């Protein structure tokens, strides 16, 4: 019952916010212009600030279990490579191929995963998940850019490596995580030199202030609810009928098959992992499709209707699949 309650508490707030956006659009409190601008705000400001904020709040890199990080990173790359090779064999529309590859290989780790790991394993889970985020989030975003750039809306078969490289290095989400890592490095130097300056707390005229950190915190807190409301506003049930085969396949693979294989493989390949690490892997592999994937698909010319549908439906399904994954992991002693 505790696991069911946790799963509902983790997923239902997201579903409610998506439903709110859908209702606001239906009663004409939001229109297409607002949603398009909102989409750009999420992609270019709110999500980047949230990612920077999350990385900045990582306490210390010195206690990293590098086998834990290495397995998670390699698993993401393998999943992406397999999906990139297999999806084009079954999906004809080029602008849907990149969207599906992204959906299968990218989870909502930043928004759902870290709170999920924290709820499962407390402070230890939060620490492990935050460390994993510094590596997985840039990787997720770089691979997503590659998928969407490789399968462009015009159906070009060749890959424009120059354009793809530019898309990766100018992606706001990747830049935000990189900036967070740079600031962490500077903070570590300050500690070594005995300086006390922090974004969270520094002194002006003898008074401790934290207005920079507070501003970042406010924007970071705005990112998730605003992104979900905009997503709900852009959601169309009429598109579900046309896309149901893609939606069903992605839900089964993303929410059951991929987490089952990835977590089971971690158990055998990296036997030294603790419960907090498996809590992070559940967050990494079993959480629904990333909200940012729909935003990025819209910005990069992918099928944004399909991308939005995949976010919504995997989120709905996750209320059941997360319960199953967590229950099995507890039963076999991983948590």
What pLDDT tens digit does each residue of the chain (335 aa) get? Answer: 566 666 666 667 777 888 899 899 999 999 989 988 988 888 889 888 887 887 787 766 666 788 999 999 999 999 999 999 999 999 988 889 999 999 999 998 876 666 777 777 777 777 788 778 878 888 888 888 888 888 765 555 455 667 667 777 787 878 888 888 888 888 778 777 777 666 665 555 555 567 788 888 899 888 878 888 887 887 777 767 788 999 999 999 999 999 999 999 999 998 788 888 998 899 899 988 887 788 788 777 788 889 988 988 998 888 788 888 888 888 888 87
Domain ranges for the chain? 2-331
pTM, rounded to two decimals: 0.78
Alpha carbon separation from 253 to 72, 109, 150, 173 (Å, rounded): 18, 17, 22, 26
Alpha carbon separation from 116 to 57, 95, 138, 151, 287 (Å, rounded): 17, 32, 20, 32, 9
CATH of domain 2-331: 1.20.1530.20
């Amino acid at each position: 019952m505790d696991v069911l309650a946790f799963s509902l508490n983790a997923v239902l707030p997201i579903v409610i916010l998506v439903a709110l956006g859908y209702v606001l659009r239906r009663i004409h409190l939001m229109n297409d212009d607002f949603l398009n601008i909102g989409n750009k705000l999420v992609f270019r400001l709110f999500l980047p600030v949230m990612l920077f904020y999350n990385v900045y709040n990582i306490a210390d890199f010195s206690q990293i279990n590098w086998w834990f990080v290495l397995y998670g990173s390699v698993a993401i790359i393998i999943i992406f490579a397999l999906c990139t090779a297999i999806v084009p064999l079954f999906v004809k529309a080029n602008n849907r191929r990149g969207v599906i590859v992204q959906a299968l290989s990218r989870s909502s780790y930043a928004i759902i995963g870290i709170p999920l790991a924290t709820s499962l394993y407390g402070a230890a889970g939060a620490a492990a998940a935050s460390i994993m985020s510094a590596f997985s989030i840039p990787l997720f975003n770089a691979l997503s850019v590659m998928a969407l750039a490789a399968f462009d809306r015009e159906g070009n078969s060749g890959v424009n490596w120059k354009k793809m490289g530019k898309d990766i290095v100018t992606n706001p989400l990747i830049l935000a995580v990189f900036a967070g890592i740079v600031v962490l490095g500077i903070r570590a130097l300050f500690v070594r030199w005995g300086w006390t300056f922090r974004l969270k707390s520094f002194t002006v005229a003898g008074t401790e202030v934290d207005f920079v950190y507070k501003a970042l915190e406010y924007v970071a807190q705005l990112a998730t609810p605003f992104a979900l409301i905009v997503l709900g506003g852009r959601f169309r049930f009429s598109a579900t009928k046309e896309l149901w085969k893609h939606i069903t396949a992605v839900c089964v693979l993303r929410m059951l098959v991929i987490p089952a294989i990835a977590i089971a493989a971690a158990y055998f390949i990296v036997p030294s992992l603790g419960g907090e690490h498996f809590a992070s892997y559940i967050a990494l592999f079993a959480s629904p499709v990333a909200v940012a994937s729909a935003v990025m698909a819209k910005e990069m010319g992918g099928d944004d209707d399909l991308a939005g549908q995949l976010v919504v439906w995997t989120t709905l399904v996750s209320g059941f699949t997360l319960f199953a994954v967590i229950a099995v992991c507890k039963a076999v002693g991983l948590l």
